[in-house]
């Protein structure tokens, strides 16, 4: 094992042995290399005359680039966009994002969490989590109704075992009983479990109520208290897009980041949906758990392993993407712009609910609970979902996503408010076509 990895392991183990034990075999071997990187960083500080350490090209003392590229970036200079970003991410962006976590999650006040590590979107964050923390065969608990890419990242690529529970109960809320049963079942069979929670949820568009959130936090804390090592992973991709008053407005990460030494909370989030910059691919991984001794050193060790994984995977996330997000977040108009876009999506969600209240639709479908995010789902009663999807596309030019035999996912986030009634009326007409054919 590399001596740097051994040193990081010692720091993590002295801070919280349970967390060290939860690292995958790869995670225990990971480190952030010194060598060229540290020498380049040292030269950046001290080589005031000539610096021949950086693996980029320069011209006239500035970053070399095409004029056609520089012109397309407007006020952002090549030095601020075309050079390599650190594998950890831009320091100022990490700091600003961490500050935003405390603003968006008041329950974090007084708690100690790590500094976010930047990833190339949240999909990459999930992949990095898998490499650092999961061995082949490790269990990850997820609902049956889930984002399909979890299977590709966790099961197909990492060979983790996905263990499912039913997302909704008969009373139409989160299925607390099924969730608790699954946690206890898996905790009885292995020392470590991973639980991946995604709220607002894709594909259902559901966020826990305050009562449900408290119960989920209790269940995971009880599992940790009983001796199970718990990786509580929160995919908060759609965070902030909450459209009802009685639901959680904070991430469960805030409640569980200091719950128990046996529980490591991992927050996966990003600017992707929160700031409407999907293609910039800027995500974050943030850690939270109790640790003894020097907590700063403990978190830095976790971050160095995570950044080492990023370096060994993609080297670093886009400097330009990070710079654009940082510039936007520091803008005096940031809060106003974010509220304006939220208001648009909130009105669309309310229009969906208003439209679906029409009793004539009850014979054609049930509506899965939704209160947040980008999506909602219909459970068809009389028609195969894929057959209907193709029919709607071919006859009406309407595109939807079919999930299994009965479910249709509708991204109301990309439908204008005035078009929403027409969308559902068209779906209803398509069902009628198939029933009468």
Q: Is 398 helix (H, G, I), strand (E, B) or coil?
A: coil
pLDDT tens for 191-233 read 999 999 999 999 999 999 999 999 999 999 999 999 999 999 9
- From residue 58, alpha-carbon distances to 44, 242, 244, 319 in Å are 14, 47, 53, 17
Give me the sign of the Cα torsion angle 166, 172, 175, 178. Answer: negative
What backbone phi and psi angles, to 5 degrees, belong to 389? -55, -50
Q: Would you place residue 431 in the very low, low, confident or very high pLDDT band (cuts 50, 70, 90)? A: very high
How far apart CA 401 and CA 396 sit, in angstroms, is 15
Q: What is the mean pLDDT of the chain?
A: 96
C-alpha to C-alpha distance for 199 and 201, rounded to whole angstroms = 4
If you average pLDDT over residues 237-247, what whole number do you get?
96
What are φ and ψ of residue 209, in 5° steps?
-75, 170
Inter-CA distances, 302 with 7, 13, 151, 293, Å: 12, 11, 25, 15
Instruction: Calculate mean pLDDT across residues 59-69.
Output: 92
Spatial distance between the Cα atoms of 191 and 168, rounded to a whole number of angstroms: 27
- Angstrom distance (rounded) from CA 300 to CA 306: 10
Yes or no: say if 198 and 207 are a contact pair by the CB < 8 Å rule.
no
Euclidean distance between the first and the last CA atom of the chain, given in angstroms as a whole number = 67
H-helix or E-strand containing 161? strand 161-165
CB 63 within 8 A of CB 54: no
Going from the N-terminus, what domains does the chain have, and what CATH number goes with each?
3-32+87-329 (3.40.640.10), 335-436 (3.90.1150.10)
Comparing CA positions, the residue from 252, 241, 276, 268 lying closest to residue 376 is 241
222, 176 Cβ separation under 8 angstroms: no
Q: What is the pLDDT of residue 168?
A: 97
- Please state the rounded mean pLDDT for residues 128-148: 98
CB 16 within 8 A of CB 292: yes
- Residue 290 gets which letter from DSSP? -
Average pLDDT for residues 365-392, to the nearest whole number?
Answer: 97
Selection from 89, 86, 94, 10 nearest residue 301 by Cα: 10
- Taking each continuous run of H as one helix and of E as one strand, the counts in the chain are 17, 13
Residue 48 has a pLDDT of 77
The DSSP-derived string for 162-182 is EEEE-SB-TTSSB-HHHHHHH
From 59, 117, 101, select the one nearest 282 (Cα to Cα).
Answer: 117
The CA distance from 13 to 21, in Å, is 8
β-partners of residue 192 are: 229
Q: How confident is the model at residue 42 (pLDDT cuts 50, 70, 90)?
A: confident
Cα torsion angle, 348, 353, 358, 360, sign: positive
Task: Answer whether residue 171 shows pLDDT above 80.
Answer: no
Q: Are 41 and 84 in contact (CB under 8 A)?
A: no
- Model confidence at 172: pLDDT above 90: no
- Indicate whether 264 pLDDT > 70: yes
Q: What is the DSSP letter of 394?
A: I
The answer, yes or no, to whether residue 54 has pLDDT greater than 90, is no
Q: How many CA atoms lie within 13 A of 169 on its CB side?
A: 11
Measured CA to CA, the distance from residue 265 to residue 428 in angstroms comes to 43
Is pLDDT at 341 greater than 70 in this prediction? yes
Instruction: Kindly give the pairing relationship between strand 229-235 and strand 192-198.
Output: parallel
Higher pLDDT, 49 or 181: 181
User: Cα–Cα distance between 394 and 388 in angstroms, integer?
Assistant: 10
């Amino acid at each position: 094992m590399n001596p740097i990895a051994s040193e990081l392991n010692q720091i993590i183990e002295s801070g919280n042995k349970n967390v060290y034990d939860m690292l995958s075999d790869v995670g225990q071997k990971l480190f952030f290399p010194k060598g060229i990187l540290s020498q380049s960083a040292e030269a950046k500080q001290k080589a005031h005359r000539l610096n021949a350490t950086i693996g980029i090209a320069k011209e006239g003392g500035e970053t070399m680039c095409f004029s056609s590229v520089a012109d397309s970036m407007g006020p952002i200079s090549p030095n601020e966009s075309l050079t390599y970003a650190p594998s950890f991410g831009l320091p100022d962006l990490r700091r600003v994002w961490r500050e935003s976590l405390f603003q968006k999650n008041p329950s974090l006040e007084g708690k100690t969490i790590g500094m976010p590590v930047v990833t190339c979107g949240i999909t990459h964050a999930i992949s990095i989590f898998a490499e650092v923390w999961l061995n082949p065969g490790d269990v990850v608990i997820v609902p049956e109704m889930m984002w399909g890419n979890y299977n590709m990242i966790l099961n197909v690529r990492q060979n983790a075992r996905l263990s499912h529970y039913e997302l909704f109960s008969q009373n139409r809320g989160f299925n607390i009983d099924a969730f608790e049963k699954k946690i206890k079942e898996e905790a009885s069979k292995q020392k470590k479990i991973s639980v991946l929670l995604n709220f607002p949820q894709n594909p259902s568009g559901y966020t826990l109520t305050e009562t449900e959130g408290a119960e989920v936090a209790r269940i995971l804390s009880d599992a940790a208290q009983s001796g199970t090592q718990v990786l509580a992973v929160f995919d908060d991709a759609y965070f902030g897009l909450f459209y009802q008053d009685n639901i959680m407005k904070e991430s469960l990460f805030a409640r569980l980041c200091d719950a128990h030494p046996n529980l490591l909370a991992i927050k996966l989030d990003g600017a992707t949906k929160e700031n409407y910059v999907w293609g910039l691919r800027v995500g974050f991984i943030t850690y939270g758990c109790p640790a003894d001794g020097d907590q700063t050193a403990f978190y830095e060790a976790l971050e160095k392993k995570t950044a080492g994984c990023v370096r060994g995977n993609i080297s670093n996330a886009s400097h330009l993407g990070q710079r654009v997000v940082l510039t936007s977040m520091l803008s005096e108009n940031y809060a106003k712009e974010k509220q304006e876009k939220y208001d648009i999506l909130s009105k669309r969600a309310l229009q969906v609910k208003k439209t679906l209240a029409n009793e004539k639709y009850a014979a054609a479908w049930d509506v899965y609970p939704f209160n947040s995010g980008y999506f909602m789902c219909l459970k068809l009663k009389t028609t195969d979902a894929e057959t209907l999807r193709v029919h709607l596309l071919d006859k009406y030019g309407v595109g939807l996503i079919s999930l299994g035999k009965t479910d249709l996912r509708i991204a109301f986030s990309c439908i204008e408010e005035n078009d929403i009634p027409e969308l559902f009326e068209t779906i209803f007409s398509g069902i009628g076509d198939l029933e009468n054919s």
